[in-house]
Amino acid sequence: MSPEVSDILVKAREQYAAEDFGAAKESFDRAVALDPHNYILLTNRAVVELQLNQKQAALNDIEEATRLHRLLPPQTSSREKAYELVIANTRIQAYASNNKDVKAVLKDIDPTVNDVTDTIMRIYVSAGNAAFSAQLWNDAAANYETAKSFARALRNDELELICYVNAANSLFNLKGREAESLDQAKKGLELLPAFKLNVERSAYFGGQLLNAKGLALGAVSDAQSTLEEQEGIFTEGISKVEKYAPISDSGVDILASLLGNRGDVRSKLGNLEGARVDFTASMKRYIKRHDASGISRQLSGLAKISLSKKDTQLGYAYAVSAVKLGSNKVARDRDEDQQLLSSSKALLTEVQIRQVDGNPASFLAKETEVEESRWKSLLQ
């Protein structure tokens, strides 16, 4: 690498660290133009392109970086060979963003560099995340389990907990494996006090594991006593997280999920007002995070409450909006939204249906304390 290219690379990495991804992309473009066969530059540019949501460009760059890296002579240093793992990690993310199967990347990893266990561990976490995003729950659970074994060997407490949380959430979505999900959550909670984490991180992981435990418990049993136990679990999670939630986006997400799940349980227990309060509080947090699926889940809960109170037009408005915002929800949740939509619509006159369809935002604004203009923006 020439001094000129090396200087540009340093600048580009500084821009990336400052989250100035557009400027970093321009710098890497200049560097690649000067040294087009440099797999390090191409890999770095692919990372930036993923941040800019330039999915195909990222895939093109990382595939070329992979091809060039494979041309390295046999006497190449172990450090350069180990860069294969950096390429593989970026390649997994590019494959996932382009809806390509990431398993091929795992198969391609050279076994001679598998002793670089920290990077391998992170590759399996990335593969798990990619599978989870694609709703390939078996693959996700298997990858998190592999990553967990590396994390345990390396005594990486935080990553081990991440794997427990994510494995529990993956298994929860697999019919017949809900008990395994519950075991993962319980094991993570048992280990949490022994891990060396600061108070804030411990609270976040505790909240996530309690959330997973509450969900899995409900999937294993639907008895009245189970619902009451679930409510207690979600309440405990909320109490752990709410103090720290304003500090980070991840805290907001965890708290929103816990509130929404407690709302579901309270609705089943007949505490409709408590459920409404939880769904609304959760929804407002998801709105701040621009999380359409999260908003949709709370709208579905509010639709059920409205229908149970015979407020069918409002229930229909919630259901219409839940369907519109819920395209990325899991299949069973999308099916439930469609059923809510059909059942509420069947109870309305044509005039009432047209009133809602013409402006569902006006109905939502009256009930949720969220401005009509905000709802229009979300639903457009």
Please report whether residue 226 resides in a domain. Answer: no
Q: Is the pTM of this model over 0.85?
A: no
Please report whether residue 252 resides in a domain. Answer: no
Residue partners of 134: CB distance under 8 A and separation at least 6: 96, 99
End-to-end CA distance of the chain: 49
| Domain span holding position 329 | 303-380
Picking from 83, 115, 147, the residue at the C-terminal end of a domain is 115
Phi first, then psi: give them for residue 83, nearest 5 degrees: -65, -15
Picking from 85, 115, 145, the residue at the C-terminal end of a domain is 115
pLDDT band at 75 (very low <50, low <70, confident <90, very high): low
Picking from 115, 132, 164, the residue at the C-terminal end of a domain is 115
Please check the confidence at residue 128 and state whether its pLDDT lies above 80: yes
* Lookup: tokens for 82: 């180990």
Q: What angle do CA 342, 344, 346 make, to 5 degrees?
A: 70
Please report whether residue 264 resides in a domain. Answer: no
In angstroms, what CA-CA distances link 142 with 155, 171, 174? Answer: 20, 10, 12
More confident residue, 250 or 220: 220
Please report whether residue 275 resides in a domain. Answer: no
Phi first, then psi: give them for residue 375, nearest 5 degrees: -65, -40
Please count the CA atoms within 13 angstroms of the CA of 53 that sit on its side-chain side.
0
Other beta carbons within 10 Å of 152: 15
Distance, in Å, from the CA atom of 116 to the CA atom of 135, rounded to the nearest integer, reads 29
Q: Please give the tally of structural domains in the chain.
A: 2
Please report whether residue 34 resides in a domain. Answer: yes
Distance, in Å, from the CA atom of 138 to the CA atom of 267, rounded to the nearest integer, reads 31
Please report whether residue 77 resides in a domain. Answer: yes
pLDDT, tens only, 152-210: 878 888 899 999 999 999 999 998 999 999 999 999 999 999 888 888 889 999 999 99
Please report whether residue 36 resides in a domain. Answer: yes
Q: What average pLDDT does the chain have?
A: 88
Please report whether residue 175 resides in a domain. Answer: no
